[in-house]
Each structure stands twice: as structure tokens, then as C-alpha cells.
Amino acid sequence: EVQLVESGGRVVRPGGSLRLSCAASGFTFEDYGMNWVRQAPGKGLEWVSGINWNGGSTGYVDSVKGRFIISRDNVENSLYLQMNSLRVEDTALYYCARFRASSQLLPDAFTVWGLGTMVTVS
């Protein structure tokens, strides 16, 4: 079964740091680009960051540039998001999402989603 399982979310103070993880299974992880998407309580979806198959290409939404770092380990089949200098407005459910077919950062749909991990900055 194709699956993504996020972990690492918790309550953290403003200015603090957190590292989110996403464990992938059921597919060849290194064949796909991956993303983090967040959803603030009662709000819509916001793409946060993406990474290509080997980590050589990454992208970030402006609001997290310089504070968040996306990375991956194709041996461990895991995706990570290092979150530094956290702000109250970073409070959200963070989803890990896989591209439908692309290994690169291309305009592809997100076809596999985890259940999310909650980050609360307060």
C-alpha cells in the first residue's frame, strides 16, 4: 500500500525550531519529487516547499524562505522539513505530498498525501 506518514509536530515557542519527518512506503521513493503542504486551522491549503528526486533542486514559498529547509534521504525513504525561527503564523497541519508522476519540480499534481502532523507555535 502506498503510504506517507508524517511525524514531529508539537507545540513550540515563537523563535523555536522543529524538524518534521515523512516516512514513505509502498512505492520507489527516489522516483518521485516530494512536497510539504500546510493547512492552518479552518483555512485552505498552502504549498510550503518541494524537492526533486535527488535533492538537487528545491523550492520554497516566500514566507518560509531562509527559515525552512527541505531535504530527503532516499536510503531511508524519508522526507524532512527543518523549521527554524518559527512564527505564530506557521501554526498549521503539515502534509507530506508526492507528485503524481514527476521526479523533478514540475507542474504536476499531488497524488499521495499523508494524514499530516500538527505544528502549533505559541
Q: Which residues bind other proteins (CB under 8 A)?
A: 35, 37, 44-47, 50, 59, 61-62, 95, 100, 105, 107, 109-111, 113-116
Question: How do beta strands 18-25 and 78-83 pair?
Answer: antiparallel
Kindly state the smallest distance separating residue 13's Cβ from other proteins, in Å: 28
Q: Whose Cβ is closer to other proteins: residue 13's or residue 44's? A: 44
Compare residues 12 and 61 and give the one whose CB is closer to other proteins.
61
Taking CA atoms, 59 is separated from 27, 41, 82, 106, 122, in Å, by 23, 24, 14, 11, 27
